[in-house]
Amino acid sequence: MDEFCEEILKVKEVYESNPDIKLGDQLCLMTYIHLCISLVYRVSYFKGVNLSRQINLARDFMDENFPQWRNLEYLSFGYCRKRGFKHLGLWATSALYKT
């Protein structure tokens, strides 16, 4: 998980250093999906891993590096409810992370 976090911060630097790229919210969403959902899910299969700690680490990383994730339009109920079951799942996971 640490390697992913390091790499995503490099990508974020590229986005921030180029004013022509306006994909901050999409990068935030992609990071949320891959870190908070995909990686934490995969890590959960390793025996002896403290899943609660991994969830907290993922949340802390998002709060520190992508604080807008908590108010991201793409994770709001209003946006997700119009887009089907998978989007509702995305909203539900974000609601759990926000608690």
Question: What global pTM score does this model have?
Answer: 0.88
Residue 4: its H or E element: helix 2-17
Q: How many beta carbons lie within 10 A of that of residue 58, not counting itself?
A: 22
- pLDDT at residue 23 in the model: 77
pLDDT tens digits for 45-55? 999 999 999 99
- Report CA 57 to chain centroid distance, whole Å: 11
pLDDT tens digits for 58-74? 999 999 999 999 999 99
Name the packing angle between helices 24-31 and 2-17 (round to 10°): 180
- What's the CA gap between 32 and 98, in Å, rounded? 12
Residue 22 per-residue DSSP state:
-
